[in-house]
Each structure stands twice: as structure tokens, then as C-alpha cells.
Structure 1
């Protein structure tokens, strides 16, 4: 629960930028490309540089202590965002947030792998990853209200306060579990500790691992773009106010993604007992279903479904709900498979490399590329340019499907070869 709460607070820090785009744009007088930079690339570049060293720290030091320090630094950096006096200072503050957040995911998933056996791990991981999706309800709906009533600066400062409490709990009350306690078969330990670059190259050379993390990166390229720009899309293409769009995006996307993540984790654990291929088949099905729903959502006209009190609900939100439910089906089974592919002494580095690729492509490239495409398409489509930019940025998920299919074929071929009698 504590790991999920820490991750949720971090994720709200990313999500709340979605309801800050319009007021920050107005205050600093910048375009969509600049907002794509501040919401993505400024964070992702620093995260990519520090991700592997952070993963190495996770493999070498007590993970609970690493998380405690990270939470403290994250709280201070997030509150500094609210004090930024210029666009440049805000970008620098976002980079400091990335510095503090770099060990969080790798340390948390390494701990989960030692807290739960493989046959229960997908659901445990889904509980961890579903917390941020549920937290988008806070980040987008409540966050939109805070930003509209008190300003975007107050939102950043309020976000940093819970992380101070999490840092104290992790430092004083949480014990470190033994590493590798649930490994069913011992992985061969390296004869000597490799350098950071050599260890990363060795992990990258392992074909199933490389294809898994590339598939995750291509998926997050589109999903982060949609998460970051969805509120602005509803404002521009469906005529909603900032508060209405933030509330709809937060409640609908957060609830459906959270339920979808928990369901896929539970389903993955059950189906994997019948056949290991389900850890790859389930994400493939989720990607195809999510892409179909997303294309329909983005292209649907601005028809009104109903009013919930004073809140107008477009018909398109039905497809948005369906997209959100299926878009997270890859997370728990893929992360579980990664923890099974590598030794416990390397899980921090392996998960860090996974997160670096996803962060660079998702947080870094996705929102920025969307902003660039939106600006480029504006002469032809005007205010509707964001609609088509999001559709184009979401297409790489089809590449993720191909990579997962290749991983599945690689796994089946090697299982077959292992089953052949020696001559």
C-alpha cells in the first residue's frame, strides 16, 4: 500500500500538468511545442541519464532507504515548481523532479518481486500500477478544481506535502525484505560485478527482455500523449470548460484504467497457470482493443450523451472509457515477465532500463511530438489539429504488438528446442 501511495503521488505530479497546460501557456505566453517540452522532454532526458545509476543503487543499497531519500527530494522539487517565476525555471524544476523520481519505480518493483511469488505477482504489480491510474481522478478532477480556484502554483505545493510523510514512514518504519526469496530457480550470478554500461549492454543483448521493454516504450509513447493532452482535447474539440474536461478525464480515465489494470493482473495470474503464453497474449489483445477504441474516440463528433447535473458528457467519453480499460492490460503481465527473466541482483537495473525507455518515449517524446504535430497541423485543421496529432502519435502501439508477437514466437521456439532430446 505504501509503495502504491508513493507511486500514485509521483504520478499525480505528472498528471496534474494536464490541467495546468492552458493556464501555464497563458501566463508564460508559450505554444503547444513548449508545453510538450515542459510536460515531457525536460523530465525524460534527466530521467534517462540518471535511471541506470539509480537502478544500480537499488541493486546495491537498502531499497527502503533509497525510496525514503527519493521521496524527500521529490517533495522539495515539486514544491519548487510552484515557486517558478519563469518558464525556464519551471523547466529546471521539472528536471529536479526527474532526479528525485528516477529510483522510485525500479526500487518498488524490485521490492514487490521479493514480497510476492511469481504466481501472485501480476496482481500485486497491477495493484501497484493501478494506484496511479486511480490517482488521476485526483490529479485531473480535483486538480482541475484546485488550479481553477487557487492557481497552478498551489497545486504543485499541495502535491509535495504527502511525500514528506511517505519519506518519514519509509525511513523509520519499513523493513527491507531479503532479495530473491521467491525465485523458483536460481539465476546464475555474475562472476564479478560488471560496470554499469557493461551490465546494461548484457541485459539489452537478451532478446526477450529487449523486445519487451521496446514494446513498453512504444506503448507509452501514445498513452502518455493521450493522458497529457486529453483535457485540452476535450476543451478544444468538445467545447468543455477546463474544470469539466478535467473532471471527466480524471474520473472516466482514472476509474476505467484502474479497474482494467486490476482485472488484467488478476486475469494474467489465472491464465498463466494454464499456459505461459498468456503473459504475452493478454497484452497483445489489450493493445488491439485499446487502439480501436482510441481511434473511434478521437474521431467521434462533438455529440452530447447526457448531463450529469451540470456536467455535460459527450458521447465520445464512452469510447474513452473503453480505451482506458484496455490500454493498461500490458503493464502487469509484462513487468511480471521481466522480473522472472533476470536475477534478483539485477532487477533494479533491469527495471530501471525498462523505465528509462518508457520515460524517454512516453514522457519525453509523446507529449512533445503531439505538441509539434498539433502546431504543424493547425493551418489545415485549426482548433481540431490536436485531434489528429493524438491519433498519429498513438499509431506506434502497432509496433508494440509486432514486438510482443516476436517475443512470443522466440519463447515458443526456445521451449521447443529445450524439449528436443539431445543427440
Structure 2
């Protein structure tokens, strides 16, 4: 590695800013569904289970089916052009969601949106690995992965106001335009960086494997499988919470749609964004001392998240203070603490993942990880939470959603156990993982 490769340029930061903006714009389409649940449910007469389907499983299945081919495309073709094309098609399919005249039509439209999103994460993270060296990569990844939390602030707060004022269809129309501008900038102003510029030359010069051969090689790595499984369980819990937190505040704390959306977006979104960025910054610094922190930080974050989340869900109704017309329940203090630690796993785990594989396997590796996290998080998390809420309704009444969320989030013990296993097996040593340990 040359001396010039040990630092990053302003151009890298500019490209990262575009990737963050594009990811935030696209992820807004997922976040805004949380404040659309109640109005869509009312218009189409859907159950909580059906809403879990449209906000979760239907989207996740389409995303998963396209995930691996999308990763293969990003490993073999220009990632910049692929992202630009995805942004344009995503905007078109999102507008179609707003034109839906029946529940089945809306489900199909959401599945089309999922297909266009499939290449975004693997292509973007593969690009980031070629924009930043490993020692600076956690912070760059945390900037990218903070995009969903930033979009949550807009989607749940401003989105709640838009939907409450003009209806849920208008929400889809408005969020379709930003990705078009990002796509134009990517197509006209960004060059494709050299693959593997910060990697060991042996791995950087490795030829691209066939899609299925590459996938089999990755899945044959025990450390990679456990890391992906941990990420999937994190997403199962996190996406279930993100999708049902607004209805929870409405049902269990008696808040209006607008107040619940603002609190869920601003409190959780801001604290998660700050926590994710802080963990990325801290990970880069601790990583210089020991790579073990790439697993240690997520483990600490998971345990604090679980404790604060359980306290948030069991805390009785009661208003701590009021900001303007928005009443803030006392429980939101625990929600803010949970939000700060809930993203501590993302940047360190993704950094570790990018070091486990060769440059021409990165997009496929991220795609496989994203397939699992999408199926578990977007697919099963909201759906099973809604189904469990319906199941508990005869026993718990209006508090059925509270108990459903409690049951779902106890599963955070599983990724904590997986991370502890990886820590003991020294899976943070990339040279061992590359050998298929």
C-alpha cells in the first residue's frame, strides 16, 4: 500500500455524502410506512397481521429474491452506474404505491420497490471499502448506516404531519423525488474507484468468482455465518420496534398520530444517529489497539439496548413534560437511551465483514448479509409482532401490542450469545476468516 493510500481525500467524502443522501432518501420509503399503518389499515380494513405483511414480509421476500443477483452485479459491473439506475426506478415504483386502489395492489407495488432497493446496500458498502482504509472504515460505514435513522426523523415526524394533513398517498409522492437528483449527480460527477485499493495485493488481485461459487465459499466460513446470523437477529428486533413504536405510543400512552410520529422519529432517530456515529468513531480508535473491539463494542451495545428497551416497554403511562402541543411520556427517556446504543453493532460488524472477504466478494458478502437481515428484520419482525399482538388481543386487550413487543425483543439475547462466541473464537482476526476458519 502506498503512502498516498493511507489517507482519504475530499472526493471520497463527497461520494460518501451522496451515498448517505441516496440511502436516506430510499430508506425513507420504509420508515414512513410506520406512520401509514393506521390510515392504510383504516382505508382498506386490514388487520395488524396484514399490515405486518405489507410493511414487512412482502417487501422482504422480493428484496431477498433479488439480493444475491444484485450483489453479483455490483461485484462485476460499475457500482456507481448501478446505484444511479436504481434510484430512478425506485422513484417510479414509489409513485405507483401512491396510486394503489386496493390492498393487493399496494402489496405488489411495495414488492416492486423492494426489487429496486436490492443493489443499494451491497453496492454502496463495496464502494465505501474502496474509498476508505480499514482503520477509518467504521466511521465511514456508520455515516452511511446512520442514514436510516436520519430518515426516520423525517419519515416519522414530518411524515406524520404530511399524512395527517394530506393523506398517506401524498407521502409516497413526496418521497419519490430526492433519489432522482442523487442519481443524476452519481451518473454525471462520480467515477468508479479502483477495487481493492486499500487491501492486501494478494486479495486485491484475486479474480472474481462465479456468483454461486462465491456464495458457497462465503457460507462455508463459520465466522461469516455467525456474524450474519447475529446481524439478522439485530434487524429482527430493531425493525419490529421501528415499525410498531408509533402505534405502541398511540395505543399504550394515548398519544395522537402526529405526536407519536414526532416522538418516535425525533427521539429514537436522533439518539440512534448519534449513537451510531459515536460507535463508528470509537470503533476506529479502539480498533487501533485491538481488533477485538469490533465485537466488544456491539456486545456492550446489545446488553444496554436490551435493558433500556425492556424498561421502556414496561414503564407505565405518564407525561414527563410537554413541548408545544407534543406531550412527552416519561418512558421516552428510556427510549432515548435505547436508541443511542441500538446501532452500536452496525459499523463494527460491517467493518469486520469487509475485512473477512476479498474485494471482489464484498458486494456478494454484503448482499447475503442483507438478504438475511431483510428477511428477519423487515420480513418477520413486523409480521410476527403484529400476529402476536392479534393473538394476545383477547387476553391483553389494548395492551396486546406492548406484550408482543416485549416477547419479540427478548430475542436480543441470541445475537449477544453469537457475538460472545465469535469473541471467544477470535473471529475479529481477518486473516483467520479469510482462510475459511
TM-score, structure 2 as length reference: 0.93
Aligned pairs for 1:209-220 within 5 A: 209-220=224-235
Alignment partner of 1:96 out of 104, 109, 112: 112
Residues 36 and 371, structure 1, Cα contact 8 Å, conserved in 2: yes
Change (3 A) 1:412 1:11: closer
Partner residue, 1:87: 103
Q: State TM-score, norm by structure 1.
A: 0.96
Aligned residue runs from structure 1 range 378-397, under 5 A: 378-397=393-412
Coordinate RMSD, CA, aligned: 1.7
Please give the per-residue CA displacement for 1:236-284, whole angstroms capped at 9, x wherever unaligned. Answer: 0000000000000110011000000000000000111111100000000
Residue 248 of structure 1, aligned match among 257, 263, 287: 263
Instruction: Please state if 1:257 is matched with 2:272.
Output: yes
Q: What are the superposed Cα offsets for residues 389-415 of structure 1, whole Å, 9 maximum, x if unpaired?
A: 111111222110111111112227989
How far did residue 382 of structure 1 move?
0.6
Cα 1:115–1:416 shift into 2, 3 Å: closer
Consecutive unaligned residues of structure 2, counting only runs of 5 or more, are 1-16
CA distances 1:4-62 after superposition (whole Å, capped 9, x unpaired): 01110111110100000000000000100000000001110011111000000000000
* CA distance in structure 1 between the aligned counterparts of 2:429 and 2:89, rounded to whole angstroms: 45
Which is worse superposed, 148-157 or 398-407? Answer: 398-407
SS class of match (2:196): coil
Cross-structure match for 1:46: 62
Which residue is 2:75 aligned to?
Answer: 59
The answer for unaligned runs of 5 or more in structure 1 is: 419-423
Equivalents in 2 of 1:412, 1:100: separation in Å?
33
CA-to-aligned-CA distance 1:171-217 (integer Å, 9 cap, x gap): 122111100001146328667x5442232121011111111111000
Cα distance in structure 2, aligned partners of 1:71 and 1:13: 12
Counterpart for residue 145 of structure 2: 129
Contact in 1 for aligned 2:237/2:408 (Cα 8 Å): yes
Between the aligned partners of 1:360 and 1:131, the Cα distance in structure 2 is 20
Residue number in structure 2 paired with 1:196:
211
Matches within 5 A, 1:290-329: 290-329=305-344
Change (3 A) 1:416 1:2: closer
Q: Which residue of 1 aligns with 2:90?
A: 74
The answer as to 2:228 corresponding to 1:225 is no
Query: In structure 2, do the counterparts of structure 1 residues 417 and 282 end up closer, same or farther at CA, with 3 Å as the change threshold?
Result: closer
**Matches of 1:102 and 1:242, distance apart in 2:** 31
Q: 1:145-156 alignment to 2 at 5 Å?
A: 145-156=161-172
Q: Secondary structure at the match of 1:313?
A: strand
Kindly state the Cα deviation for residue 100 of structure 1 after the two structures are TM-superposed: 0.3
Distance across 2 between alignment mates of 1:311 and 1:217: 34
Instruction: Count residues in correspondence.
Output: 417
Residues 194 and 178 of structure 1: CA distance in aligned 2, closer, same or farther (over 3 Å): closer
Partner secondary structure for residue 401 of structure 1: helix
Contact 1:4 1:132 in 2 (8 A): no
